[in-house]
């Protein structure tokens, strides 16, 4: 069976108070253009500012107004959270494949080709990055974050029957068909376990790819806290209890 043909990659960038990194993030993503062209893909970026109170939105607008780049900018009038920004970006994206790229450069855009390769090869409906798979460079940071992540990943795997090593990772890619079919309701960081649950419930073919990770400290702008980890327990359970709301992918049988 031949691999499906894809023509455009949509890179979705949720943003909140990222004036220090957003332009470098855009540069790094646009730098992948020639490599994507060699794969037969055009590039679209959809950036959603989640009511930042710094210059993030102004910098995005200036960049979009310069022309010559496939950049769509949207903005929430009030802060709604990462999950809401991802859902807004989904509404504007027109590509065949979507990948979520955080605005803070904790994830390296040079990993994009590796992330989407299983989709391009027709093997996967979704790809989840892993910071613990022996990939590229990793900044060494918080021990208890790692322990908490492992515990949440194990719990998520118990509900989904997947064998991921890094459920909470923000680097996730999908065919646009699978992405649009996801029943996503969580507005904040709970979007990560919800996405994984929906992939399992729709019967998606999920691959995992090692990635580089350049984590930030809280002084450098890291936003997720232990409270989000505790809340993730509830999000995992809620996604499981609402499984009937998720449709299956075409051709997948229960």
In a domain, 29, yes or no: yes
Check residue 228 and give its pLDDT.
Answer: 61
Does residue 1 sit within a domain? no
In a domain, 251, yes or no: no
In the 8-state DSSP scheme, what is residue 64? H
| Domain region containing 221 | 8-245
Number of domains in the chain: 1
Distance CA 220, CA 129 (A): 23
For the chain, residues with pLDDT lower than 70 are 1-2, 67-68, 133-145, 215-229, 253-254
pLDDT in tens, 218-240: 454 455 655 666 777 888 899 99
Q: What number of other Cβ atoms are within 10 A of residue 78's Cβ?
A: 7
- Dist. CA 228–CA 233, nearest whole Å: 9
**How remote is the C-alpha of 185 from its chain's centroid?**
15
pLDDT digit string (tens) for 116-141? Answer: 999 999 999 999 999 886 666 655 55
Q: The domain that contains 102 carries what CATH number? A: 3.90.550.10
Q: Cβ(15)–Cβ(22) under 8 Å?
A: yes
pTM above 0.75, yes or no: yes
Contacts of 7 (CB under 8 A, 6+ apart): 40, 41, 42, 95, 96
Establish if 108 belongs to a structural domain: yes
**Looking at residue 231, what is its pLDDT?**
73
Domain contains 252 = no
Q: Decide if 94 is inside a domain.
A: yes
Q: Is residue 165 part of a domain?
A: yes
């Amino acid at each position: 069976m031949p691999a499906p043909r894809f023509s455009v990659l949509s890179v979705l960038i949720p943003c909140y108070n990222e004036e220090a990194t957003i332009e470098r993030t855009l540069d790094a993503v646009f730098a992948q253009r020639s490599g994507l062209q060699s794969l037969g893909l055009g590039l679209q970026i959809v950036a959603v500012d989640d009511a930042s109170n710094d210059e993030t939105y102004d910098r995005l607008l200036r960049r979009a107004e310069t022309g010559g780049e496939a950049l769509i900018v949207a903005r929430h009038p009030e802060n709604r959270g990462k999950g809401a920004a991802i859902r807004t970006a989904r509404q504007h994206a027109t590509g065949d494949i979507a990948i979520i790229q955080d605005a803070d450069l904790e994830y390296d855009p040079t990993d994009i080709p590796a992330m989407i390769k299983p989709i391009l090869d027709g093997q996967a409906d979704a790809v989840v990055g892993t910071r613990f798979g022996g990939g590229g460079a990793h900044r060494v940071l918080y021990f208890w974050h790692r322990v908490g992540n492992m515990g949440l990943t194990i719990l998520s795997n118990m509900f989904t029957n997947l064998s991921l090593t890094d459920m909470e990772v923000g680097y996730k890619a999908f065919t646009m068909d699978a992405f649009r079919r996801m029943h996503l309701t969580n507005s904040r960081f709970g979007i990560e376990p919800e996405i994984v649950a929906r992939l399992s419930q729709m019967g998606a073919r999920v691959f995992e790819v090692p990635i580089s990770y350049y984590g930030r400290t809280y002084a450098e702008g890291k936003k997720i806290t232990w409270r989000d980890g505790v809340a993730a327990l509830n999000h995992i359970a809620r996604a499981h209890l609402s499984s009937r709301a998720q449709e299956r992918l075409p051709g997948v049988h229960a």
